[in-house]
Amino acid sequence: MTMTPKRTRWIAVAAVAGLLVAALVLLALRIPFSSEILRKRLVATLADRLDSEVELGELTLRLFPRLHAVGSGLAIHHKGRRDVPPLISAEKFTVDADLVGLWRRHVSHVRLDGLKIQVPPGERHDEEAEKAEDAEKAAKRLPLGSGNAGHVASGRQVVIDVVEAPEAAVIIIPRNPEKTPKTWSLHTLFVHSVSANTTMPFEALLTNGVPPGQIATEGSFGPWHRDDPGHTPVNGAFTFENADLSVFKGISGILSAKGTYQGRLETIDVHGETDTPDFMVNISGHKVPLHAKYHAIVDGTNGDTKLEQIDASFLKTALVARGGVYDVKGVKGRRVTLDVTMDQARIEDVMMLAVKTPNAPMTGALRLGTKFELPPGDQDVIDKLRLAGHFAIGGGRFTDADVQRKINDMSARARGETETAGEQAQKVASDFSGQFALGNGVLALERLTFNIPGAVVELKGQYALQRETLAFLGNLFMDAKVSEATTGWKSVLLKVVDPLFRKDGQTVIPLKISGTRNNPAFGMDVRRVFKRAS
């Protein structure tokens, strides 16, 4: 779901390549008497058309039996910037056309070998400067289809039937020079009916960087907005196959996705869905099928993504999330922030993602709301994940027979029904609610309330996910007196201490819980008992 921007940025290759070769063919229609004159004219025209500094090595031209032009060493520095690599470079380009086609201003085929589009970081502006720039851009815009718009070339245009760019690359240069540039490799790219003022169909196959996988896409692009490239229209559909999620430390699974996109480069509206049949959080070792549908708004010029809505499901649990994926200055990777809501969930499904036991320790209905933040970085997902929210579990029952038996017994004794305690106790349901925060691999429960018939437990503490250790303090509130929770001689002896634990018509017993998840230690916090008595 944080992959969407990577499916759209490379599309600029099509438009830029089309403009380059269109200018080249325009010159070819006015054939000079030497290749050197043609080379100089091409450099001057590209510099004017693209508002750039242009470098071109050799250029050769053959007129018969068909027009065939070959160039090498092309480099275009947009707006003359020399502080970053060339915006566009190609090791070699070839143009092929026949005389009849040229008469009709059509070129049959253009091939760009070794094409690289290296997108520099955008310039930072203060708020007033940005407003002025936006106003200037808006003043230049005309409705799409306006033939005399200032952002498109005027006059009759040459059309290239097919532009081919095998093994091209789109490289996003970060603002921080210490960060590694992001590279997308386009194995194949074909653009049809290329012209400065037209919508151009395309198809491409590329490798996604993170997570690695193959993306196939087709759609249309253009016309290109020279003064405001981010306003250039784009739409299409994509499929994403065999994306290996194990590149993210702490999770694994093979993801596939499909979807559609439309809009402009600066605001691309994306609808898609993903399937990961073997998704796993490594700490648990359990694989679950994960499916998601999403709606996102992508800024194709910088990759920032606003997640309008995600509807995800695994096993019999559903969740809804909204948020975004954003770049972080000075840090490798992107930050994911989400508001997550679970109104139709099961605690056993969630536990299958987080605990190692063959079966979930508890079953029951779960309602949850949380702030989700996944910072960039190379740490395990469990260690860097941040959560803060609230939850409620209704009708919870423990799957371990011994644990559930203790809960049953506790409920019976808390009601003073000692004759039904032990094996004869009724199997009771437990209700939980509380507030929690997760950070650095530690789950902190700010307020945990545990209800069973006859008793309420309130706890506060933490659980370390990797070590599976417990550290909680709280109170047990019972309807019955301490002496009424047992039988025989113990009941007689405990009558002496009943007043020590009785408060406002309830028995209040200070608790402490330690040990591990598999071997918890429950006990009365004697220190707090006598502190309260004094």
Report pLDDT for 298: 80
Sign of torsion over alpha carbons 488, 493, 495, 501: negative
Q: Average pLDDT, stretch 123-144?
A: 44
Measure the CA–CA gap between 194 and 159, rounded to whole angstroms: 5
User: Rounded to an integer, what distance in angstroms lies between the CA atom of residue 367 and that of residue 341?
Assistant: 8
Name the band, by pLDDT with cuts 50, 70 and 90, for residue 142: very low
Amino acid at 326: Y
The confidence score (pLDDT) of residue 195 equals 78
When mean pLDDT is compared across 94-98, 111-115, 255-259, the lowest value belongs to: 94-98
Most confident of 366-370, 427-431, 482-486, 514-518: 366-370
CA angle 376–378–384, rounded 5-degree value = 60
- Per-residue exposure over 260-274, b if at least 16 CB sit within 10 Å of its own CB, e if not: ebebbbbebebebeb
**pLDDT surpassing 80 at residue 526:** no
Q: Give the span between the Cα atoms of 496 and 378, in whole angstroms.
A: 59
Q: What are the beta bridge partners of residue 437?
A: 388, 444
Q: Which residue has the tokens 């402490």?
A: 512
Question: 54-109, pLDDT tens digit by residue?
Answer: 888 888 888 777 888 898 999 988 777 787 888 889 999 898 888 777 777 788 89
pLDDT at site 419 = 64
Evaluate if residue 397 carries a pLDDT over 60.
yes
Confidence bin at 295 (pLDDT 50/70/90): very high
Band (pLDDT 50/70/90 cuts) for residue 151 is low
CA distance 17 to 204: 14
DSSP single-letter state for residue 366: E
Q: How confident is the model at residue 172 (pLDDT cuts 50, 70, 90)?
A: confident
State pLDDT tens for residues 5-43: 444 444 444 445 545 555 554 444 444 446 777 778 777
Mean pLDDT throughout 264-270?
83
CA distances to 134, 369, 379 from 462, rounded to whole Å, are 50, 19, 21
pLDDT tens per residue across span 417-450: 766 555 545 667 888 899 989 888 888 988 889 8
Of 12 and 403, the structure prediction assigns the larger pLDDT to 403
Q: What pLDDT does residue 148 have?
A: 38
pLDDT of residue 139: 45
Pairing of strands 386-398, 430-439: antiparallel
End-to-end CA distance of the chain: 58
Q: Where are the alpha helices (DSSP H) in 35-167?
A: 35-50, 99-103, 127-140
Q: Percent of the chain beyond pLDDT 70?
A: 79
Q: Which whole-number Å values give the CA distances from 369 to 244, 293, 338, 340, 361, in the listed order?
A: 29, 19, 11, 6, 21
pLDDT at 530: 65
CA–CA gap between residue 370 and residue 372 (Å, rounded): 6
Amino acid sitting at position 424: Q
Q: Give the 3-state secondary structure of residue 418.
A: helix
Binning pLDDT at 50, 70 and 90, where does residue 225 land?
confident
pLDDT given at position 236: 95
Report whether pLDDT(332) > 60: yes
- The whole-number pLDDT of residue 226 equals 62
Mean confidence (pLDDT) of the chain: 79
Q: Give all strands (DSSP E) within 328-385, no chain letters.
A: 334-346, 362-374
**Which stretch of 218-222, 306-310, 451-455, 524-528 has the lowest confidence by average pLDDT?**
524-528
Q: In this predicted model, which residue has the larger pLDDT, 453 or 125? A: 453
The pLDDT, as a whole number, for residue 105 is 78
Q: Which helix (H) or strand (E) holds 27?
A: helix 12-28
Q: Rounded to 5 degrees, what are φ and ψ at 380?
A: -60, 145
Higher-pLDDT residue of 320 and 149 is 320
pLDDT number for residue 288 = 94
Report the alpha-carbon distance of residue 500 to residue 532 in Å, rounded.
9
CA distances from 130 to 133, 134, 266, 510 (A): 5, 6, 15, 60
Q: Which two tokens stand for residue 262?
A: 């439309």
Contacts by 65-73, CB closer than 8 A, 24 or more apart: 66/96, 66/97, 66/98, 66/99, 67/28, 67/95, 67/96, 67/97, 67/98, 67/99, 67/102, 68/94, 68/95, 68/96, 69/24, 69/28, 69/38, 69/94, 69/95, 70/94, 71/24, 71/39, 71/42
Tell me which residue of 361, 381, 380, 362 sits closest to 372, measured CA to CA. Answer: 381
53 CB contacts (<8 Å, ≥6 apart)?
47, 76, 77, 80, 82
Looking at residue 332, the DSSP 8-state letter turns out to be S
What type of residue sits at position 469?
T
Q: Which residue has the higher pLDDT, 492 or 29?
A: 492
Q: Would you state the torsion angle of the CA atoms of residues 483, 487, 492, 493, taken in this order, to the nearest 10 degrees?
A: -70
How many angstroms from the chain centroid is the CA of residue 235? 21
From the centroid of its chain, how far is CA 188? 26
